[in-house]
A and B are shown apart, each in its own frame.
Chain A
Amino acid sequence: MYRVICITTLLLGNALLTGCANLGVDPWDRDLLARPDMEMVSDPMEAGLDAHIYFSKEASSGGEGFAGGGCGCN
């Protein structure tokens, strides 16, 4: 079972990386991507505050990055 998982992960990873090789843009076409609002986390302050709120009220946390620090609220 463990071997199957290993091989599948390697194959998937390889397919992903090969697929990735064909996507993308040339360096001079990164104008839109360089915009601050196109960062994956464009507002770290808001993201951190929301993560804290939902960590306190729900049973899930994180996923996008590290939750950044615990508290006694859950």
Chain B
Amino acid sequence: MASPCELLTDVDNKTKAEELLSIVATEAWRIESKFSRYLDGNIIHKITNSNGLAVSVDEETAQLIDFSTTLYELTEGGFDITSGILRKVWSFKGKNKIPSNAAVTKILNSVGWDKANWDSPALTLKPGMQLDFGGIGKEYAVDRAGQLANTITDASCLINFGGDLLVTRPRKDGKAWSVGIEQPDTLTGSATRLIMLQQGGLATSGDTKRYILKDGKRYGHILDARTGWPIEDAPPTVTVAADTCIEAGMLTTIAMLHGPEAIEFLEAQEVRYWCG
């Protein structure tokens, strides 16, 4: 995942804490290696090299694909697990380069869930297409780790995988966990706000630091799978609190896909959110 992961817990003995840490870390590594696009032999690797042939996937992968299909429909194609390949033409790490229209059009040939054939448990992608769970992988891992933690303790756990968080249950003394998020606050003039999270998931989309500036136009790093280009006029960053980490993460992504109407969307969904 290439992000720092931490577990905070309210248990009163060290053995229990170590046991929890072990469970959470193991689950994180398990999911990471299963869906990493950098490891040979896992399901992602198999699908990438399927060359147009059907691949039979396991139950967990099938459930993730079903979930992604629902999200594809809910976002009318904005969220698409075949869009990961767009990273080949978009790099947001310091070079202020944008790809040519031709390059984007060409790579769009390999993007589109409508081009895939999903007949659970058989997945068939056109040659050249890839599957990438990058948009939900971390949040999914957080929620799964949370479920496992709940099986061995009823103490409150805060699981944080690189900024995607879950608090499994309220703390025994009723206090909340304090989470700092980077969202400017004009009243106090500070760049961070403090969220008191007693239970539930918290996720942040967007990045005030990762963007391309070219010819006076700012390109955020959330790409619209339908056009191959970054979303225009979206807020630089959005944080949402929801019942699970996945829902929080999806709501931030869908909000960003709404571009200038992101805030209207979040208001309509009646979720707790903070916006830059």
Contact = CB atoms under 8 A, between A and B. Distances in A.
B260 A27 contact: yes
A26 B259 CA distance: 12
A35 B189 CA distance: 7
A28 interface: yes
Interface string A21-42: 0000011110000111001000
B189 A28 contact: no
A27 B189 CA distance: 18
A35 B188 CA distance: 10
Q: Which of A27, A29, A34, A39 has the most CB of B within 10 A?
A: A27
B236 A28 contact: yes
Contacts of A27: 233, 235-236, 260
Interface in B205-261: 218, 220, 233, 235-236, 260
> Do most interface residues of chain B lie in helix, strand or loop, or is the interface mixed?
loop
B184 A34 contact: yes
Contacts of B220: 28
Given A27-B235, A27-B260, A28-B236, A34 B218 contact: no
Interface in A1-47: 26-29, 34-36, 39
A36 B220 CA distance: 25
Interface residues of A, number: 8
A35 B218 CA distance: 20
Nearest to B275: A27
Nearest to A39: B186
A58 B233 CA distance: 48
A50 B186 CA distance: 24
Nearest to B260: A27
Contact of A34 (B186, B233, B235, B260): B186
A34 B185 CA distance: 9
A15 to B, nearest CB: 26
A39 B188 CA distance: 12
B219 to A, nearest CB: 10
A34 B191 CA distance: 11
B186 A28 contact: no
A33 B118 CA distance: 49
Interface of A: 26-29, 34-36, 39
Interface of B: 184, 186, 189, 218, 220, 233, 235-236, 260
17 contacts: A26-B218, A26-B233, A27-B233, A27-B235, A27-B236, A27-B260, A28-B218, A28-B220, A28-B235, A28-B236, A29-B218, A34-B184, A34-B186, A35-B189, A36-B186, A36-B189, A39-B186
Given A28-B220, A34-B186, A36-B189, 11 more contacts: A26-B218, A26-B233, A27-B233, A27-B235, A27-B236, A28-B235, A28-B236, A34-B184, A35-B189, A36-B186, A39-B186
